[in-house]
């Protein structure tokens, strides 16, 4: 997991406010795209992606500025990663590619659990429904 954490941290370092705004501008398309994912073996993945999308959207639009920027940047990086269909390991089949995406999403959720749980509480969302537990 340490390598995944490093990968996420490095990717998040590249997320400037301008890039974050660009991701936010694409959010309606991204949210639609996430609902089309075939994630049968990862039942929480779509809901987790939607949760991260809401975080980025709310921060970028000023609806929730209490989130740490690093947490938002990590969420934005993972959303861009999933959208770009790039994978840590090239030539993955569908199941392995989804596993790759799920691992990154879980990493971001675990790394930012306190901030994201507080966000969920502020927005009357169930953190348990987006939990990092399978």
| pLDDT > 70 in the chain, percent | 87
CB atoms within 10 A of CB 67: 19
Give CA–CA dist 125/117, Å, rounded: 9
Between CA 97 and CA 38 the distance in angstroms is 10
User: How confident is the model at residue 91, as a pLDDT?
Assistant: 45
How does pLDDT run across 37-84, given as a tens digit for each residue?
Answer: 777 778 788 899 999 999 999 999 999 999 999 999 999 999 999 887
Q: At 64, is the secondary structure helix, strand, or coil?
A: coil
pLDDT in the model for residue 75:
98
Looking at every residue in the chain, the average pLDDT score rounds to 87
| Confidence category of residue 132, pLDDT binned at 50, 70, 90 | low
Tokens 């073996």 belong to 41
Q: What is the pLDDT of residue 86?
A: 58
Alpha helix positions (H), the chain = 2-13, 17-25, 27-35, 45-60, 69-84, 94-111, 113-122
Q: Round to whole Å and give the CA distance between 36 and 108.
A: 21
Domain spans in the chain, listed from the N-terminal domain onward? 2-126
Contact 20, 60 (CB under 8 A): yes
Average pLDDT over residues 87-109: 70
């Amino acid at each position: 997991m340490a390598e995944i954490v490093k990968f996420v941290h490095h990717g998040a370092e590249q997320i400037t406010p301008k890039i974050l705004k660009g991701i936010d501008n694409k959010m309606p398309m991204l949210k639609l795209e996430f609902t089309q994912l075939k994630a049968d073996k990862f039942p929480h993945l779509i809901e987790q992606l939607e949760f991260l999308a809401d975080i980025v959207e709310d921060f970028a639009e000023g609806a929730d500025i209490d989130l740490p920027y690093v947490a938002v940047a990590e969420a934005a990086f993972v959303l861009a990663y999933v959208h770009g269909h790039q994978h840590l390991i090239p030539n993955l089949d569908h199941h392995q590619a989804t596993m790759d995406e799920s691992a990154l999403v879980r990493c971001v959720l675990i790394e930012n659990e306190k901030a994201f749980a507080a966000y969920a509480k502020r927005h009357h969302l169930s953190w348990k429904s987006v939990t990092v537990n399978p």
